[in-house]
Amino acid sequence: MATTVTGPGFLRILTGQLHSRLLAFGGGPQSLSCFHTSTPLEVNKNWDRRNFKLYPPQSPDEPRRPAEVHHCRRQIKYSKDKMWYLAKMIRGMSIDQAIAQLEFNDKKGAKIMKDVLLEAQEIAVRNHNVEYKSNLYIAESFSSKGKYLKRIRYHGRGMFGIMDKVYCHYFVKLVEGPPPQVEPRTSLDQAKEYVQNLKNRTIIHSL
Amino acid sequence: MATPMRRTLLALHRATCENLKNAEASLDVRHPLPFVIPVRTKKRYFIPPVAGIKQKTQGDQEAKARAAGIVFRQQYIERPVNIACSAGIFDPYIPPEGDARLSTLSKEGLKQRTEQVRQSAASQLAIRKIKEHDPHFTTKEFPEQAQEIFIEAHNALTQFNKEKLHSLVTERCYPEMTRGNRYKTIRWRFIESLEPPKVVHARCPDMVSKGNLYGQVTLRMHSRQTLAVYDRFGRLMLGNEEVQKDVLEYLVLERHLVNPYGRWRLHGKIMPAWAPAKDPVIKTVVIPGPELKPGEEFEALNYEVPKPKAVQWNK
B156: confidence class by pLDDT, cuts 50, 70, 90? very high
CB contact under 8 A, A11 and B11: yes
Percent of chain B with pLDDT over 90: 27
What residue of A is the nearest CA neighbor of B184? Answer: A54
Chain A residues whose beta carbon lies within 8 Å of the beta carbon of residue B232: 53-55, 67, 128-129
- Would you say B253 and B265 are in contact if contact means Cβ atoms under 8 Å apart? yes
Decide if A27 touches B, using CB distance below 8 A: yes
- The whole-angstrom distance between B222's CA and the closest CA on chain A is 29
- Write down the pLDDT at residue A63: 94
Give the C-alpha separation, A167 to A145, whole Å. Answer: 6
Q: CA angle A178-A182-A183, nearest 5°?
A: 140
Taking CA atoms, B161 is separated from A143, B184, B185, B243, in Å, by 39, 14, 13, 26
β-bridge partners, B252: B218, B268
SS3 content of chain A, % helix, strand, coil (to 5): 40, 20, 45
Could you say which of B23, B233, B237 has the minimum Cβ distance to residue A28?
Answer: B23
- The whole-angstrom distance between B305's CA and the closest CA on chain A is 20
- The whole-angstrom distance between B284's CA and the closest CA on chain A is 6
Q: How big is chain A, counted in residues?
A: 207
What's this model's pTM, rounded to 2 decimal places?
Answer: 0.72
Backbone angles phi, psi at A91, to 5 degrees: -60, 125
Chain A residues whose beta carbon lies within 8 Å of the beta carbon of residue B15: 11, 14-15, 18
- Highest mean pLDDT pick, A99-113, B112-126, B165-179: A99-113
Could you say which of B23, B43, B231 has the minimum Cβ distance to residue A19?
Answer: B23
CB contact under 8 A, B23 and A23: yes
β-bridge partners, B230: B185, B236
Choose the mutation target among B159, B185, B226, B235 for the interface with A, i.e. most A CBs under 10 Å: B235
- Write down the pLDDT at residue A56: 93
B217-227 average pLDDT score = 92
Percent of chain A with pLDDT over 90: 77
- Write down the pLDDT at residue A40: 67
Does residue A159 sit in helix, strand or coil? coil
- Write down the pLDDT at residue B314: 76
CB contact under 8 A, A64 and B235: yes
pLDDT tens per residue, range A2-49: 444 444 444 454 444 544 454 444 444 444 555 655 566 788 899 999
- Write down the pLDDT at residue A199: 96
What average pLDDT is seen over chain B?
A: 82
Could you say which of B22, B234, B284 has the minimum Cβ distance to residue A65?
Answer: B234
pLDDT tens per residue, range B21-36: 555 544 455 566 678 8
Backbone angles phi, psi at B300, to 5 degrees: -70, -20
- The whole-angstrom distance between A179's CA and the closest CA on chain B is 19
Give the C-alpha separation, B185 to B189, whole Å. Answer: 13
- Would you say A93 and A141 are in contact if contact means Cβ atoms under 8 Å apart? no
pLDDT at B229 over 90: yes
- Write down the pLDDT at residue B13: 60
Write the Ramachandran bin of A122: left for phi over 0, alpha for psi from -120 to 50, otherwise beta. alpha
CB contact under 8 A, A30 and B24: yes
- Write down the pLDDT at residue B29: 53
- Write down the pLDDT at residue A30: 47
Give the C-alpha separation, B156 to B177, whole Å. Answer: 11
Radius of gyration (C-alpha) of chain B in whole angstroms: 36
β-bridge partners, B271: B313
Could you say which of A11, A55, A64 has the minimum Cβ distance to residue B232?
Answer: A55
Give the C-alpha separation, B98 to A63, whole Å. Answer: 43
Taking CA atoms, A127 is separated from A67, A114, A193, B9, B238, in Å, by 11, 20, 45, 66, 15
DSSP 8-state code for residue A94: B
Give the C-alpha separation, A161 to A163, whole Å. Answer: 6
Q: Point out the least confidently predicted range of A29-38, B54-63, B173-182, B269-278.
A: A29-38
What residue of B is the nearest CA neighbor of A36? Answer: B41
Write the Ramachandran bin of A182: left for phi over 0, alpha for psi from -120 to 50, otherwise beta. beta
- Write down the pLDDT at residue B103: 56
Backbone angles phi, psi at B141, to 5 degrees: -90, -25
- Would you say A90 and A179 are in contact if contact means Cβ atoms under 8 Å apart? no
What residue of A is the nearest CA neighbor of B34? Answer: A31
Structure-model confidence comparison of residues B215 and B27, the more confident one? B215
Decide if A150 touches B, using CB distance below 8 A: no
A140-163 average pLDDT score = 95
- Write down the pLDDT at residue A14: 46
Query: Across the A/B interface, how many CB contacts are shorter than 8 Å?
Result: 89
- The whole-angstrom distance between A24's CA and the closest CA on chain B is 11
Give the C-alpha separation, A117 to A135, whole Å. Answer: 13
Contact residues, chain B to chain A, C-beta under 8 Å: 4, 7-8, 11-12, 15-16, 19-20, 22-24, 27, 31, 33, 35-36, 38, 43, 183, 185, 187, 228, 230-237, 283-284
B28-57 average pLDDT score = 75
- Would you say B95 and B169 are in contact if contact means Cβ atoms under 8 Å apart? no
Chain A residues whose beta carbon lies within 8 Å of the beta carbon of residue B7: 7
- Write down the pLDDT at residue B42: 86
What average pLDDT is seen over chain A?
A: 86
Give the C-alpha separation, B182 to B163, whole Å. Answer: 15
- Write down the pLDDT at residue A9: 47
